[in-house]
Amino acid sequence: MNASNAKIIKETGNVCFKDVAGCEEAKLEVLELVSFLKSPNQYHDLGAKIPKGALLSGSPGTGKTLLAKATAGEANVPFITVNGSEFQEVFVGVGPARIRDVFSMARKMAPCIVFIDEIDAVGRTRGNGSCIWQSEQENTLNQLLVEMDGFNSSTNIVVLASTNRADLLDPALRRPGRFDRHIHLGLPDLKGRASIFKVHLRPLKLEPGLNLEELSRKLAAQTPGFTGAEMASVCNEAALRAARHLSQCIRAEHFEQAVERVIGGLEKNTQPLQLLEKTMVAYHKAGHAVAGWFLEHAEPLLKVSIAPRGRGLGYAQYLSKELHLLSQDQLFDRMCMMLGGRVAEQVFFRLITTGARDDLRKVTQTAYEQVVQFGMNKVVGQVSYDLHLQQNAVTEKPYSESAAQLIDQEVRSLVDDAFQRTLQLVVNKKEMVEKVAKRLLEKEMLDRADMVELLGPRPFQEKGLYEEYGEALDFEEETPPPEGLKDGQKNKEDKQTKSALYL
């Protein structure tokens, strides 16, 4: 019972860094660990100490486990993997014994990598230990802390761990000397998504006319906010659709249908909408589309559908610019676009439905963030309160009752202003909204070309589908060398440094 369930993978060469894309910064962080495990004497001779551990954190599906496997594959060392929950047991003393067993195994197989997946199951912040389970969890964590402090740099053991909730880990576990490196894997950007799609598209049998580079760019532009796991699901879903239709290869329409499936859910062909409901949905989506089309800072529409799907009545797909900083005008335009569906229902049917529930939730959240967090309201002032504190029933609000009334009043005023602006826009463009809605009822799906045909080009100067991607490729600009270096000498030294890490 005291023996751990750790798995030993001695041959991990089939997974290398070339199989991991979209997290170039994280790969550079672990390159030093790979270099140490390949040639530790080079570091020991200089008196350097390799970091004992690296903590991989990030949202689910961003590639934490895959990066750990690739690290072991590049280093060509044994890879000992265990899940954090496997250390937990109702019997007293079993968890610490399994921790000791794992590190005893690692010392015998050094140099090696120990990978603890979901370490928050055993590494949560220690509490008061009021019950037996909490006491056992603390004993297990204490044993892990002792083991990570017990071996020195000469044992050639590197501990990798992954978690989705790094904020829950005990401070003693995250301090330097245990997990020295904290590597965050965030959502990939446009360029990162294209590189991930290349990895997943390479083994697929594509149509001869499809260019791998061009297809990866197109799919990357259509999938903002996707994780690596979701992009792998898109590629696999396209292959499944091609096989389901007995196709000899995977065509472009299969990928479009796969993106729709992952974003909107399964299409409900057996549950058709009534004519009145279908009409309401069409005008609701048309209100969103037209409002976003004529608002400068709104995200341009890529595709809109009124076909019922697993996650709602139709869906809309937009081309996100993935901005890190948003101004008041940009936030206000996005609020107006969210209200376009509710306004269209009121203008054309003189009634409102429950279809705008999610839109209203997003509008309210955006308005509260501007007033409470971002300091974008003149009356409330340049203050910022944490919204998470308001959601905790135990913690009191960080402001007075009069300030709460003022915040509610300003939020309501901001939402009303956005509603009135959207109402005026929809009334002025009433014929265009009706034109888009009728075309939706006819075709059930409209793309960007249909919108240009119905409404004309957007009245704002905007980039095409791939121009922004092309700019993202130009990030490797040569910086001027510092004084004392000849032309080309700095680039040569940078290449030598990167090559040394790969040795």
Single-letter amino acid, residue 336:
C
Beta bridge partners of 33: none
In this model, does residue 406 exceed pLDDT 90? yes
In this model, does residue 286 exceed pLDDT 80? yes
CA 227-233-237 angle, to 5 degrees, is 150
Gap between the Cα atoms of 137 and 394, Å rounded: 26
Using CA atoms in the order 288, 291, 297, 300, what is the torsion angle rounded to 10 degrees?
A: 60
* 236 confidence band (pLDDT: 50, 70, 90): very high
Per-residue pLDDT, 365:
93
Gap between the Cα atoms of 25 and 375, Å rounded: 32
Per-residue pLDDT, 144:
83
Per-residue pLDDT, 463:
56
Is 190-264's fold the same as 275-465's? no
The tokens describing 345, both together, are 């229902």
Beta bridge partners of 304: 316, 446
Intra-chain end-to-end CA distance of the chain, in Å? 42
Per-residue pLDDT, 482:
36
Q: For 237-256, what is the mean pLDDT?
A: 91
Q: Can you say whether residue 98 is alpha, beta or left, with left for phi > 0 and alpha for psi between -120 and 50 degrees? A: alpha
Q: Tell me which H or E stretch contains 219.
A: helix 212-222
Per-residue pLDDT, 67:
85
Q: For 71-82, what is the mean pLDDT?
A: 80
Give the residue extent of every domain in the chain.
7-185, 190-264, 275-465
In this model, does residue 475 exceed pLDDT 80? no
CA 294-188-203 angle, to 5 degrees, is 110
CA 426-431-436 angle, to 5 degrees, is 90
Q: Count Cβ atoms within 10 A of the Cβ of residue 174 and give its class: 0-12 exposed, 13-18 middle, 19 or more buried.
A: middle
Q: Which CATH number fits domain 275-465: 3.30.420.40, 1.10.10.10, 1.20.58.760, 1.10.287.3510?
A: 1.20.58.760
In this model, does residue 414 exceed pLDDT 80? yes
Mean pLDDT, all residues of the chain: 79
Full strand arrangement of the beta sheet holding 312-318: 312-318, 301-309, 445-447
Gap between the Cα atoms of 181 and 285, Å rounded: 47
CATH number for the segment(s) 7-185 = 3.40.50.300
List the beta strands (DSSP E) in 291-423: 301-309, 312-318
Per-residue pLDDT, 151:
54
80, 6 in Cβ contact below 8 A?
yes
In this model, does residue 1 exceed pLDDT 60? no
Which pTM does this prediction carry?
0.73
Q: Count Cβ atoms within 10 A of the Cβ of residue 422 and give its class: 0-12 exposed, 13-18 middle, 19 or more buried.
A: buried
Tally of CA atoms within 13 A in the half-sphere of 185 that contains its CB:
35
Full strand arrangement of the beta sheet holding 79-83: 7-9, 79-83, 112-117, 157-163, 53-58, 181-185
Per-residue pLDDT, 393:
40
Distance of CA 477 to the CA centre of its chain: 27
Per-residue pLDDT, 227:
87
Overall CATH class of domain 190-264: mainly alpha
In three-state secondary structure terms, 417 is helix
Per-residue pLDDT, 424:
95
pLDDT per residue over 385-398, tens digit each? 865 544 444 445 77
Give me the phi and psi of 312, to 5 degrees please.
Answer: 155, -175
In three-state secondary structure terms, 445 is strand
352, 345 in Cβ contact below 8 A?
yes
Which of 131-140, 215-224, 255-264, 335-344 shows the lowest per-residue confidence on average (mean pLDDT)?
131-140
Per-residue pLDDT, 325:
86
Q: Please give the DSSP secondary-structure letter assigned to residue 111.
A: S
Which of 47-51, 191-195, 333-337, 486-490 shows the lowest per-residue confidence on average (mean pLDDT)?
486-490
β-pair type (53-58, 157-163): parallel
What does the DSSP assignment read for 30-47? HHHHHHHHH-HHHHHTTT
Gap between the Cα atoms of 238 and 258, Å rounded: 5
